[in-house]
Structure 1
Amino acid sequence: MSQTPFSGAETPADLLRSLLEADPARPLITYYDDATGERVELSVKTFDNWVAKTANLLQDELAAAPDDRAALLLPAHWQTAIWMFACWSVGLLACPGGDPAEAQLVVSGPDHLEEALACEGERVALALRPLGGRFPQLPTGFLDYAVEVPAQGDRFVPYAPVDPDRPALEIDGEQLSGSHTVSLAAEQARQLGIGPDDRVLSMLSYGDWDGLAGGLLAPLVAGASVVLCRNSEKLHPDKLAGRVAEEKVTRTLG
């Protein structure tokens, strides 16, 4: 089978760097929240800036170190994608839906704050409000991501190179190394027939491999882009069809 454009990347962080070198201005993730009416479009460059800021927050402010476990109690959201790649940039083990009690760091949306208190390490809360807004009132025991991230630098260099053979992702009860994560994503892209000209609309969760790969990793490995839709289960078929046409979607998942 032919190789997808960026399947030679050794880690997910390498994949992002390759995308940045190829075309920093092109759209990478377009996000819709049909409960709030929010629409956010992130180019490769903008996404990379957010990842760099978040990775600097992790490494310099939260003292996160390679192999630390990060429990990510977050929905499929543009900020979730940023946190995944920030963890991989530092060398953390990203655990979507992971047990906070077993993690050195927890990142929680507003629906899981009580559960997140089981983490004895650093706790970061995401309000998931339009435009990346802050919490109206900071939850006790948490840092507000929207408050902490703006001051961080736009460029990130890890203290130690990220080892592609170390665990990078824990999902569906399995740990995957960085290189395995990328190779599986490339295989998923081939199975789904995703190519560099595709726009993939996903309404899937990031809590399992099919949703994370289909709605993020496989399109990125293929050099495609993502239209990520949240709270869209009850969207009228005509409105969904209009979005597909407007966003030039070529593949729909979920």
Structure 2
Amino acid sequence: MGYDTRCKPTPSATRCGDCDPTVRRLRVVIEHDGRRRIVHPVADDIARVFADAIASDPTRPLLTWYDDATGERTELSGATLANWVAKTGNLLVDDVAAGPGSVAGVLLPPHWQTAAVLLGCWSAGLTVAGTPGPAGAMAGTPGPAGAMAGTPGPAGAMAGTPRPAGAVAGAPGPVDVLFAAADRVGEADAWSAGERYALALAPFAAPLRELPAGWADYVIEVRGHGDHFTPYPGGRELVGVAAERAATLGLTGGDRVLVDAARHPDPVDWLLAPLTVGASVVLCGNLDPTRVESRRSAEKITRPLT
């Protein structure tokens, strides 16, 4: 969708509706290295942002995950990630009876499965709450209408991202559904949850070898759900935050972004900001500094966040 020619770009996200109220888009002027680079139209709800990011070529790599501790490399096209997101949305609606007004607890580090969980929750209209992980990883805590909030972890996990007012805090509390990494299920006692899903976060989306009592295995349960899901609109404030963050990070349309998960654990940085500009992500856990240059070349990286 193009802009009304009367739009006057500014260095921050504004409503194109300032010129034409029928155009429900956010306008972002990207400034990097002291010069303006692009004006990018951004949809004003998370589901639309995700759909726009994959619309031009659903088969292209959208999210590539590396774990240098295990040697894992998992590449997801837009279509593949969308399939996981749809299945997650259906799981939430069908098995949890969740929807707008429901709350999900997410105790997960940056990971491709975390992307599926978060986007699935937002697609189903859920508010997401989370707390920092052991390494300062922030799974993301959207507040009303998807506003992000949270408590910084030991390594400055929130990466300086501004938060809209009225956001849900990251402290444990009652939630309708809880998603947790296998090494964090011990924290679940602090969360009163109707349904609990554990994730092994293993290569090839392998299930847990031993399932904790009272938990379901996310990758087993989600695979039985439908591949199509009609998302609920929402998250306009969060999209605005992500668009501003994209500008701050110097991300532009078509970028391939290398992200050090330890330095940028906030999902605004590693997931939503790239999506708002149509960039693809190479997300690296346990990043080995000696592999950065070769990976930049192999993955055709245009913007490193390391």
Q: TM-score, normalised by structure 1?
A: 0.85
Separation of aligned partners in 1, 2:78 and 2:247: 22
User: Which residue of the other structure, out of 214, 217, 241, is the alignment partner of 2:272?
Assistant: 217
CA gap of 1:192–1:236, structure 2 versus 1, over 3 A, is closer
Which of 103, 127, 135 lines up with 2:175 in the alignment?
103
* Mapping of residues 1-254 of structure 1, within 5 Å: 1=9, 3=27, 7-97=41-131, 98-117=170-189, 118-158=191-231, 161-162=232-233, 164=234, 178-204=235-261, 211-232=266-287, 235-237=288-290, 239-254=291-306
**Which runs of 5 or more structure 2 residues have no equivalent in the other structure?**
1-8, 11-26, 29-38, 132-169
**SS of aligned partner of 2:173:** helix
Q: Secondary structure at the match of 2:193?
A: coil
Runs (5+) with no aligned partner, structure 1 = 165-177
Equivalent-residue separation in structure 2 for 1:133 and 1:45 (angstroms) = 20
2:159 corresponds to which residue?
A: none
Alpha carbons of 1:69 and 1:206: their partners in 2 closer, same or farther (altered >3 Å)? farther
Distance change (3 Å), C-alpha of 1:35 and 1:80? same
**Kindly, what percent of the aligned residue pairs are identical?**
44
The 2-side partners of 1:189 and 1:236 are apart by 24
Q: 1:127-164: per-residue Cα shift (whole Å, max 9, x none)?
A: 11101100111111111011101111110025xx43x3
SS, match of residue 101 in structure 1 = coil
Contact 1:55 1:156 in 2 (8 A): yes
Give, as a single letter, the amino acid of the residue that structure 1 aligns with 2:258. L
Q: Root-mean-square deviation (CA), in Å? A: 2.0
Which of these two proteins has the greater Rg computed from alpha carbons? Answer: 2
Kept in 1, the 8 Å contact 2:42–2:277? The answer is no
Q: TM-score, normalised by structure 2?
A: 0.71
Deviation, 1:207, is: 8.4
Task: After superposition, give the CA deviation of every residue in 1:76-131 in whole Å (9 maximum; x if it has no partner).
Answer: 00010111100110000122324443322110001210112332311110011101
Query: Number of matched residues?
Result: 233
Distance 1:188 1:11 in 2: 16
